[in-house]
Chain A
Amino acid sequence: MSNASVALIIIAIFIMGSAAVGIAPGLREKLSFEQWAVGGRNFGRGMNWFILAGEIYTAFAFMGAAGWAYSKGAPVFYALGYGCLAYIVGYYLLPAMSPIGRRFGLMTQADLVEHIYDSRVLGVLTAAIGVCFMLPYLQLQLTGLGLIIETCSYGVIPRTTAMIIAFGLVATFVSVSGLKGVAATAIIKDIVMIVAVVYFGVYLPVHYFGSYGGLFEAVDKAKPGLLMLPGATKNMDVSWMMSTIALTSLGFYMWPHLTANSFSARNPDVLKHNAVYLPLYQICLLFPILIGFTALLVIQPTLKTPDMAFMMLVQKSFPGWALGMVGGAGALACMIPAADLLLATSMVFTRNVYGRTAGTGTSPAAMARLTKGVVLGLAVVALMLCIFSPGMLVNLLLTGYSGVSQFFPLLVLGVFWKRANKIGAFCGLAVGEFLVFYTMLNKLDPLPVAGMNLNAGFIALVANMLVFVVVSLLVAPQRSESVYLSTHPVEPAAH
């Protein structure tokens, strides 16, 4: 058999197999809406681990980290640093949010915001902003998927066909099984991806350079200075790295789908326990970076698309089965996060935007049917965007992480600070999002300030936080004692 057909068969097995696993929970039993949306709030450590960890190792981890190492050098190290700090934020935040969700039947991030501030307007606003940033993220996964399958099938399957088939399957299993389907497939995805990343990340550098030390000696000799900041870039220097790690670690759990994932936990201890071990999982990100540096020396001439570095190196070094493995793992790395995003976007859009504006008074049963329909509708929208205007959402995408990070004061102070109120929250959010859009649209990221190059989202977050706190202190307390207590996690008595 030719390399192409071997690779193609392996990729097809991965995609079809995971779609079958994803659809099974919904076919086996009739799921209630709560089971569909937040897994019945009954996920133990294992299931919760895979949806929390699984949404982290996306197409970026797989292709982007290698691509950044290949094209930028040392700035890629930021990707190793922020996750473990984000888990410390999560250690406090997730176990505090999850019981509020259980007690008041909340299913989305915007539900939570509306509840803590007792403000429908703020809930709708959070939901609308969340959808604006999740949709391009969804499109990114989809575009990555098309590119990976096209490359790994040696061009036999064009990217549009690949996107339609794979995404059709994703939309089907999300609509049938909801979060249970996402969790079941996330397990497969993580195992496949870790095996692929560790195998190639250990083998390739050693194969070409004898050892990791040998690899980095060679990189340092060929490209002096690449392995320290700012690497091959002009302005990704020490201040950029510090502000970027600060922003991404604080903003990490602000992605709306991760709030919904935390609502799925059986009890707060599940979330605390998993936060302790998640940093170790992050060490896996080391391997794509090693592969990226190997590709830099081995692949000539320079790639036009640095994100292809991983696959090109495998294609150069192995026969078809290996590319099939990477293609299958890479496809899953796009499909499963896309499934979770699709679920969260549909939920937020239907419940918090439509349901709280034009659709007030829709019955819960009609709402549930509508949400499942919106899953399919959004999948079509995302596909159309990818096929007909792949570049249109680029600006929004760039703002994604900075944009959702602006929810940090809203959520964290809302849960932990008694004086936080809706007027402060609204003003802070408005200032933060304005600065994010202004700096991004004027290409001011990183933002030069006093000789430093600071992450623009970080500046926006600092301004947002200041405005939030000052305005909250200036206006009279809005939340009555009882509302605060009803949302505030009860600390166990000191011992």
Chain B
Amino acid sequence: MRTLKIFLTLLPFAWTIGGVAFANRIRPFVLGLPFLMFWILSGILLAFLCLTAMYKIDTHGQKH
């Protein structure tokens, strides 16, 4: 679980920051947005998904 949490923590950083090195292009447009803009927006969604998973792991088994 610990390894999984570290992975979920670092993945969005790698995606957004590391991704800029490969995603600095205008085309193809995705959803009408230039590629670089789309890439960075996709990082927001990824961060949300990773945080959701981390929160699930952390609260697993706790009574609410």
Residues on A facing B (Cβ under 8 Å): 74, 77-78, 80-81, 83-85, 87-88, 91-92, 211-217, 220, 225, 227-229, 238, 241-242, 245-246, 249, 269, 272-273, 275-277, 279-280, 282-283, 286, 289, 492, 494-495
Contacts and interface: CB of A to CB of B under 8 A. Distances in A.
A267 to B, nearest CB: 12
B58 A238 contact: no
B52 A276 contact: yes
Summarize A's interface: helix, strand, loop or mixed: helix
Contact of B32 (A87, A88, A216, A269): A216
B40 A80 contact: yes
Given A84-B12, A227-B26, A286-B41, A276 B34 contact: no
A269 B50 CA distance: 17
Given A80-B40, A84-B47, A276-B52, A238 B32 contact: no
Given A228-B25, A228-B26, A272 B32 contact: no
Contacts of B25: 228
Contact of B48 (A214, A245, A280): A280
Interface string B39-59: 011011101101110110011
A218 to B, nearest CB: 12
Summarize B's interface: helix, strand, loop or mixed: helix
A91 B16 CA distance: 18
Nearest to B22: A238
Nearest to A216: B34
Contacts of A92: 9
8 smallest A-B Cβ distances: which pairs? A213-B32, A84-B47, A212-B32, A227-B34, A276-B51, A81-B40, A279-B48, A84-B44
Contacts of A273: 55
B31 interface: yes
19 contacts: A74-B37, A77-B37, A80-B40, A81-B44, A84-B16, A84-B43, A91-B54, A91-B55, A212-B32, A213-B29, A225-B26, A228-B24, A228-B26, A228-B36, A241-B20, A242-B18, A246-B13, A492-B62, A495-B60
A245 B34 contact: no
Q: How large is the interface on B (under 10, 10 to 19, 20 to 34, 35 or more residues)?
A: 35 or more
Contacts of A275: 51
A238 B24 contact: yes
A242 B55 CA distance: 27
B53 to A, nearest CB: 9
B4 interface: no
B23 to A, nearest CB: 9
A250 to B, nearest CB: 10
A275 B48 CA distance: 9
A57 to B, nearest CB: 15
B26 A77 contact: no
A282 B50 CA distance: 16
A276 B9 contact: no
Given A84-B48, A279-B44, A245 B58 contact: no
A88 B24 contact: no
B39 to A, nearest CB: 9
B47 A87 contact: yes
Contacts of B18: 242
Nearest to A240: B20
B14 to A, nearest CB: 10
B62 A77 contact: no
A88 B41 contact: no
Q: Which of A92, A246, A277, A279 neighbours the largest number of chain B CB atoms within 10 Å of its CB?
A: A279
Contacts of B29: 213, 216-217
Contacts of B33: 212, 216
Given A88-B51, A229-B36, A272 B58 contact: yes
B36 A242 contact: no
B58 A280 contact: no
B51 A87 contact: yes
Contacts of B1: 494
A32 B2 CA distance: 42
Contacts of A238: 20-21, 24
Contacts of B52: 276
Contacts of B47: 84-85, 87-88, 279
B58 to A, nearest CB: 7
Contacts of B34: 74, 216, 220, 227-228
A197 to B, nearest CB: 16
A277 B48 contact: yes
